[in-house]
């Protein structure tokens, strides 16, 4: 790489496809973590104009890089990046939206059906050789005659809704404002939505405005036949309230692809028979993670070629 190429820092893990693509356009500096103050001398820090990351990026990190122009974050959720502080310093933040919409929606439908029809338990039943001696018990729950509420009718929420429509189920949603062109019933609060449905799917970003919004009141409104699915961010849920609701039958069952403190699953969650937990695999296929890596790298390339990023966050 020529000396005149911009320098891009990769703090911590990065997808190999992104690293290869970035290596053909930029001088790369790699560190094992975000402690750039301790890891890099001042002249190297001053040379860094871009960051490609999947780690927490806080004020201290941003302040350590005086000539930083762009932070390209891997994933659609960018709650790990202090985007407001970056904006205040005229640093662009990009994420990787859209390329993962259908993949996350596929996983959501799979998780919903798994929870309701007990697919993981039925699989374990066969594996354990129990089919030879007994029939698997009928599932207490069914998807039939349910109404599905979607908390967050954004890019992924709309892809989930299309799949729910194909299941023949009515849909309602809550976001802070009705979405133009979306025909499903709109509710102006999460609590009202929860009262009106018996499946609630959360697909909102993790940030202070959504923190612990799925709380005891919302779960109680969902009701004893209620099923809760979370494929957005774990911070959206009051996990203590969810555990209690599942333990006491306030709701019937839940499926989580995300928890608040990944990968540390609370023991109280693991003990619940009516909770299915996945290890945050919504977008986790080889093809889609490569597409996300590609978009991350193309954001940095576009920025340094034209001064405009492809997918800056709002
Ligand atoms: O409220 P709006 O009109 O901004 O609608 C967005 C909604 N949303 C909220 N709804 C209620 N209360 C809030 N405090 C709130 N904050 C955001 O979530 C919009 O309908 C939806 C987010 O849609 P998108 O920005 O298109 O995100 P996308 O690509 O669907 O991904 C959603 C999240 C990511 O942020 C990751 O955390 C996860 O899924 O992968």
Q: Rounded CA gap, 157 and 171, in Å?
A: 11
pLDDT band at 2 (very low <50, low <70, confident <90, very high): low
pLDDT over 90 (residue 241): yes
DSSP bridge partners of 52: 72
Cite the beta strand spans of the chain per DSSP E. Answer: 7-11, 27-31, 48-53, 70-73, 92-94, 148-151, 171-174, 185-186, 199-202, 227-230, 253-256, 275-277
Q: Give pLDDT, residue 164.
A: 98
Token reading at 281 = 């695999």
Q: pLDDT tens digit string along 189-235?
A: 999 999 999 999 999 999 999 999 999 999 999 999 999 999 999 99
Q: pLDDT tens digit string along 250-259?
A: 999 999 999 9
Whether residue 233 lies in the annotated active site: yes
Distance of CA 140 to the CA centre of its chain: 29
Token reading at 303 = 């920025």
For 159-216, give the DSSP string.
HHHHHHHHTT--EEEE-SSPPTT--SEE-SSHHHHHHH-SEEEE----STTTTT-B-H
pLDDT over 70 (residue 1): no
Whether residue 280 lies in the annotated active site: yes
Percent of the chain with pLDDT over 90: 98
Q: Give pLDDT, residue 83.
A: 98
CA atoms within 13 A on the CB side of 263: 4
Q: Is residue 263 reached through a cis peptide bond, with omega within 30 degrees of 0 on the bond before it? A: yes
| Average pLDDT, rounded, for the chain | 97
pLDDT band at 18 (very low <50, low <70, confident <90, very high): very high
pLDDT band at 4 (very low <50, low <70, confident <90, very high): confident
The residue whose CA has the least distance to atom 10 of ligand 1 is 175
Q: pLDDT tens digit string along 48-81?
A: 999 999 999 999 999 999 999 999 999 999 999 9
> Model pTM?
0.97
Rounded to 10°, the helix 155-166/101-117 angle is 50
Q: pLDDT tens digit string along 99-133?
A: 999 999 999 999 999 999 999 999 999 999 999 99
Please tell me the distance between residue 205's alpha carbon and the centre of ligand 1 in angstroms.
5
Catalytic site residue from 233, 239, 289, 298 = 233
Whether residue 158 lies in the annotated active site: no
CA-closest candidate to residue 285, choices 157, 121, 105 = 105
Percent of the chain with pLDDT over 70: 99
Q: Is 209 in the pocket of ligand 1 (CB under 6 A)?
A: yes
Q: Give pLDDT, residue 15.
A: 98
């Amino acid at each position: 790489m020529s000396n005149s190429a911009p320098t891009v820092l990769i703090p911590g893990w990065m997808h190999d496809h992104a690293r290869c693509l970035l290596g053909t356009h930029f001088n790369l500096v790699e560190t094992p973590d975000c402690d750039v103050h301790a890891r890099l001398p001042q002249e190297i820090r001053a040379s860094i104009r871009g960051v490609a990351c999947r780690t927490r990026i806080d004020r201290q990190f941003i302040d350590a890089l005086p000539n930083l122009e762009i932070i390209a974050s891997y994933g659609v959720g960018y709650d790990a990046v202090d985007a407001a502080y970056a904006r205040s310093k005229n640093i662009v933040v990009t994420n990787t939206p859209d390329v993962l919409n259908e993949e996350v929606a596929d996983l959501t439908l799979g998780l919903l059906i798994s929870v309701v029809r007990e697919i993981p338990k039925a699989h374990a039943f066969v594996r354990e050789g129990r089919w030879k001696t007994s029939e698997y018990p009928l599932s207490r729950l069914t998807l039939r005659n349910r109404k599905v509420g979607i908390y967050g009718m954004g890019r992924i929420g709309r892809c989930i809704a299309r799949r729910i429509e194909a299941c023949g189920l009515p849909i309602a949603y809550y976001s802070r404002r009705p979405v133009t062109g979306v025909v499903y019933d709109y509710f102006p609060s999460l609590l009202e939505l929860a009262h009106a449905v018996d499946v609630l799917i959360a697909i909102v970003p993790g940030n202070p405005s959504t923190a612990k919004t799925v709380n005891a009141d919302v779960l109680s409104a969902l009701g004893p036949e209620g099923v809760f699915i979370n494929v957005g961010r774990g911070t959206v849920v009051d996990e203590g309230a969810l555990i209690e609701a599942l333990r006491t039958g306030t709701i019937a069952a839940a499926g989580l692809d995300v928890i608040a403190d990944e990968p540390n699953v609370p023991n109280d969650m693991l003990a619940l028979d009516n909770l299915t937990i996945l290890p945050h695999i919504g977008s986790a296929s080889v093809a889609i993670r490569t597409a996300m890596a590609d978009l991350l790298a193309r954001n940095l390339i576009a920025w340094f070629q034209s001064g405009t990023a492809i997918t800056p966050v709002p």
